[in-house]
Amino acid sequence: MLDATLDDRLKSLFEKVERALQENSSLKNEKIILETEVLELKNQVLEVKNSGLDLQNEISSLKSTIEIQKNTLNELKEQNKFIKLAKEMSTDNSDNHELKIKMNELVRDIDRCIDLLNE
């Protein structure tokens, strides 16, 4: 009778150990699955951050291009004003040519000054 009770207790103990091992194995599998999901989410976050940085760089580049184009447009407008002024002031073609040359020199000097100020 003592052996039967002892055998039953041992059998019960072995069953509990087996269930614990199965639960432990199941928890390990769930842990691996969760770790994999976390890594995937981290990768997605990094991709989004990199994409955001690329977009910021592109925006910066486009802003720079716009600024350059604005400056070029303003310079061309100024040159156009000088040419119109030169045409109005001159009645003779030879005077007009010399005036244009002087005006272009002035524009170049002004551009150099502006470049120096921007630095």
**pLDDT tens-digit series, residues 32-59:** 999 999 999 999 999 999 999 999 999 9
- Closest by alpha carbon to 71, among 116, 39, 115, 19? 115
- Structural domain including 109 reads 2-118
- What is d(CA 92, CA 48) in angstroms, rounded to the nearest whole number? 66
DSSP 3-state of 58: helix
pLDDT over threshold 80, residue 69 = yes
pLDDT over threshold 90, residue 60 = yes
Q: Which residue bears the tokens 């770790």?
A: 35
Mean predicted lDDT score pLDDT of the chain:
85
- What is d(CA 6, CA 56) in angstroms, rounded to the nearest whole number? 74
Domain count, the chain: 1
- What is d(CA 57, CA 60) in angstroms, rounded to the nearest whole number? 5
